[in-house]
């Protein structure tokens, strides 16, 4: 899903009813996680900030 828009979803209640709102936002400028498969499992790792982003 590279280049796809991201959705920010929030939930709140109005008069006892659950309201869910989704707002589209542009994709992040940098990756936050690195994903890899290890022994059939998906492993997510936080990426360390680089000098350019720090």
- pLDDT of res. 32: 78
- What is the residue-level pLDDT of the chain in tens, covering all 54 positions? 455 667 888 999 999 999 999 988 877 677 678 889 989 999 988 877 665 544
Q: Where are the beta strands (DSSP E) in 1-54?
A: 6-14, 17-25, 33-38, 41-46
- pLDDT of res. 49: 65
pTM over 0.95: no
- pLDDT of res. 26: 75
Distances 52 to 3, 8, 32, 49 between C-alpha atoms, Å: 21, 26, 14, 8
């Amino acid at each position: 899903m590279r280049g796809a828009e991201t959705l920010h979803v929030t939930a709140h209640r109005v008069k006892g009813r659950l309201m869910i709102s989704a707002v589209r936002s542009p994709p992040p400028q940098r990756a936050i996680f690195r994903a890899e498969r290890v022994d059939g499992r998906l492993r997510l790792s936080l990426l360390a900030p680089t000098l350019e982003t720090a």
